Amino acid sequence: MGAAVGRSRSQTKKIEEPSYWDMVNKHMDGSKTVTDEREPDSQIQALTDLMKGVIQAKAAKKYEIFKAIKYRGVLDEKGITYELKVQVGENDYIHSTIENKDPALGLSPKLRYVAQEKTLDDPIHDLSGQNRY
């Protein structure tokens, strides 16, 4: 009898994700790509944790809970901006916008906006025109 036809798991070709620069170069014409709301992964939570002190200072509040709940990514020619929904109390949430422009060059993330008094059901959206701190 002949050998089984097909690929084993070790032979399956892995699809590589585009690099940061490939994604940015795609948007050099000024266009944007906005993702749907997503569940955060460990990288998004790490970014949230990194920005906690800055967000607390901007909001003039201390938060005991600080957990990323949802996020959207906005990709343009300048890099990636994250719009985050963060749980800061039992039923309290904030939305924040954090630019993570050019991390390949070691630039630090920058807080753009914080909107307080949000609910779990409030959709994440661009905060640039909202009441914010």
What is the predicted pLDDT for the residue at 49? 96
Domain contains 128: no
Return the closest-CA partner of residue 98 out of 70, 69, 73. Answer: 73
- Compute the distance between CA of residue 33 and CA of residue 20 in angstroms, rounded to an integer: 13
Give CA angle at 58 (53, 62), nearest 5°: 55
Q: How many domains does the chain have?
A: 1
Domain range for 109 is 23-118
* Closest of 126, 118, 47 to residue 85, by C-alpha: 118
In a domain, residue 104? The reply is yes
Q: State the pLDDT at residue 74.
A: 84
Does residue 131 lie in a domain region?
no
CATH of the domain at 42: 3.10.450
Cβ distance 40 to 48 under 8 Å? yes
Neighbours of 114 (CB within 10 A): 24
| Residue 78 maps to a domain | yes
Tokens of 131: 């009441």
What average pLDDT is seen over the chain? 78
CA distance 82 to 18: 18
pLDDT for 76 equals: 76
Comparing 29-38, 81-90, 95-104, which segment has the lowest mean pLDDT? 29-38
pLDDT band at 103 (very low <50, low <70, confident <90, very high): low
pLDDT band, residue 86 (cuts 50/70/90) = very high
Residues in Cβ contact with 34 at an 8 Å cutoff, skipping those fewer than 6 apart: 72, 73, 74, 75
44 is a domain residue: yes
DSSP state of 122: S
Mention every residue, 6+ apart, whose C-beta is less than 8 A from residue 42.
none
> pTM for the full model?
0.71
In a domain, 62, yes or no: yes
Asked whether residue 4 is assigned to any structural domain, the reply reads no
